[in-house]
Structure 1
Amino acid sequence: MIPTMVKFIAIRVLRAATVFFAVTFVTFAIVYANPAAIARNVVGISANDDAVRAEIVKLGLDRPLLEQYQHWLAGLIHGDLGQSYFTGQPVLTTLGIRFPVTLALMILSLVLTVVLSVLIGVSSAVRGGWPDRLLQFLSVIGGAIPSFIVAIGLVFAFAVALPLFPATGYVSPDVSIGDWAASITLPVLAILVGSIAGAAAQFRGAVKDVLDRDFVRTLRARGLSERAVIYRHVLRNAGGPGLTVLSLLTIGLLGGVVIIEQVFALPGMGSLVTDAASRGDVSVVMGCVAVTVLLVSVVNLVTDLLTTALNPKARAS
């Protein structure tokens, strides 16, 4: 049992490491493909060619690409992602300031999505009727409306028409918990509109599929209460597909958060990577990519472990 589990975890970790190295190397090759452009962004458009060549040497961009990547990777292992080419601030320090904002937004959105989508999806699958039809309708509407449209609508409704929440800005929880909650409420709601509708529909489908199986009819025939059938057996069997949905949802949230942070002017990873990419601050871009890939790898690994806990047969696959 234990060796099998260790082998399962080792394979998943090796797979995650392979994906991490592949994605970061390809990204590194793309963003560092034109050293002259990087150096010119740093020294200024009006700089002469000699200044650009001197900056290329100063930044180490004249070395072979593989050697540069190995140097970046060694720094990553030792907790050093280099410095911003424009501010001179260590990339790790910048990420330490920006990442908690994005992480708080994602965790709150994910927890609320899990709780509400499970409740709505299970209720829709079990009861059927108009709640089921309403969920299917809302899932289509929620998936069709872009998150930035929802965000703008929420700003007009609850920050302009009814000034209940701030339209933009972010307050750290260290300053005020109440102001922090107010500043993050509308961004979280903007994410939930699309995520809950889609996730609830997926949970509804997974539960519906399990309810149609023979063993559920057998359990009911033996006299088990409907509550016991649903919570002890149906949810356990529907948990695997549900976890897969949540894994994909978490990855999708990373893209949605970038847009939401721009709309609400939140100082998170979204605005950081957008600003860094627009001005050519490639060391910061690589730091953001590394954190993002690492986060996705951890989410996928945790999902695999939880799926295995619910269904030990998953180890064989």
Structure 2
Amino acid sequence: MLSYLCKRIGAGLVLLGLVSLVTFMMVFRSPEAIAFNIIGSTATADQITRKITELGLDRPVLIQYLDWLSRAVQGDFGVSWFKAEPVSTLINRHLPVSLSMVGVAVVVMGLAAALLGVIAAVRGGWVDRAIQILSVVGFSVPSFWLGLLLVIFFAVRLNWLPATGYVSFTRSPLDWATSLVLPVTALVLAGIASASQQVRGAVIDALDQDYIRTLKARGVTQRSILFRHALRNAVPPALTVLSLQFIALVGGAAIIEQVFAIPGLGSLTVTASLNGDVPVLMGVVVTLIILVIAVNFVIDLLNALANPKVRMP
């Protein structure tokens, strides 16, 4: 087990290093464009040259990367070129907002997908077909379009929920929950549609195994077969799908945060991209990669605990 965990950690570190290197090479490959974007359209050649020298962009890119990496491993991602704040401070301010939204979305999506998937697999017939049709419809609806519809109906017309904004949990748990209802709903619909079908398939495959038929022949109740045997074997593929959906939610959160004016990491990324704030972009990319690696590691650990075959060499 320890060897398996070490391999997964090592693979994650290698992935983090490669992604950070490739991203750094891409965003820092044109120092003239960076300096021009910072100064503005009225920039002269002398101003661009001075700005490149000021930012240290005239050095070899590999040297710049090693210098950035030596500071990044200590949690120092530099200072924002436009906000004059440490990048780590900006990330620490915006990341909890995104994590709270995505965390609630994952829980809601996991519970809803598991419930719908199990019902579709066990009941079959028209119930299964109806859930599949709803899943196709849910997967086809764009999250930003659904978000706008939710705002118009529940916030503008009915005035039940706030249209935009975010309230921290420490400030008011109730206001925090109400501020997340609409964005989480818009964010999870497509994920529920996709994950429920994966859960359905995993449960059907588990129920079709020979040992399940043996249990039925011995008179074991359907409830016991489903909850003690079939679902246990359907957990690994369901967890894998959930981890992939988590990554998709992190990416989709940027759009939803723009629709609902939520000051999360997605909004920070969009602003930094429009401004060409490279230090912020690098900090966000590394933070997201670490987050994805951590989630995948936890999922791999749960899969290894649930199924010993996963950790076999």
Fold equivalence (TM over 0.5)? yes
Cα offset, 1:192, TM superposition: 2.2
* Aligned: 1:32 with 2:28: yes
Cα offset, 1:112, TM superposition: 1.0
Partner residue in 1 for 2:256:
260
Distance in 2 of aligned mates of 1:157 and 1:211: 42
Q: 2:143 aligns with which of 137, 144, 147?
A: 147
Cα displacement string for residues 224-248 of structure 1 (whole angstroms, at most 9, x for unaligned residues): 1111111111011111111111011
* Aligned: 1:111 with 2:107: yes
Letter in 1 for 2:176: W
Partner residue in 1 for 2:209:
213
- State TM-score, norm by structure 1: 0.96
Cα offset, 1:40, TM superposition: 2.0
Distance in 2 of aligned mates of 1:151 and 1:242: 27
Distance in 2 of aligned mates of 1:149 and 1:45: 35
Partner residue in 2 for 1:283:
279
Partner residue in 1 for 2:244:
248
Distance in 1 of aligned mates of 2:67 and 2:207: 54
Cα offset, 1:42, TM superposition: 2.1
Cα offset, 1:298, TM superposition: 0.9
Distance in 2 of aligned mates of 1:302 and 1:74: 27
Partner residue in 2 for 1:123:
119
Cα offset, 1:173, TM superposition: 2.2
Letter in 1 for 2:192: I
SS in 2 for 1:224: coil
Partner residue in 1 for 2:233:
237
Partner residue in 2 for 1:21:
17
SS in 1 for 2:169: coil
Letter in 2 for 1:149: W
Cα offset, 1:133, TM superposition: 0.9
Distance in 1 of aligned mates of 2:232 and 2:169: 36
Q: 1:78 aligns with which of 56, 59, 74?
A: 74
Partner residue in 2 for 1:45:
41
Partner residue in 1 for 2:180:
184
SS in 1 for 2:41: coil
Q: 4+ runs of 1 displaced by more than 3 Å?
A: none
* Aligned: 1:60 with 2:56: yes
- State TM-score, norm by structure 2: 0.97
Partner residue in 2 for 1:96:
92
Distance in 2 of aligned mates of 1:176 and 1:238: 38
Cα displacement string for residues 45-96 of structure 1 (whole angstroms, at most 9, x for unaligned residues): 2132222111111111111111111111111111100000011100000001
Distance in 2 of aligned mates of 1:93 and 1:173: 20
Distance in 2 of aligned mates of 1:164 and 1:198: 29
Cα displacement string for residues 227-283 of structure 1 (whole angstroms, at most 9, x for unaligned residues): 111111101111111111101101111121111111101101111111101110000
**Alignment: residue pair count:** 313
Gaps spanning 5+ residues in structure 1: where? Answer: none
Gaps spanning 5+ residues in structure 2: where? Answer: none
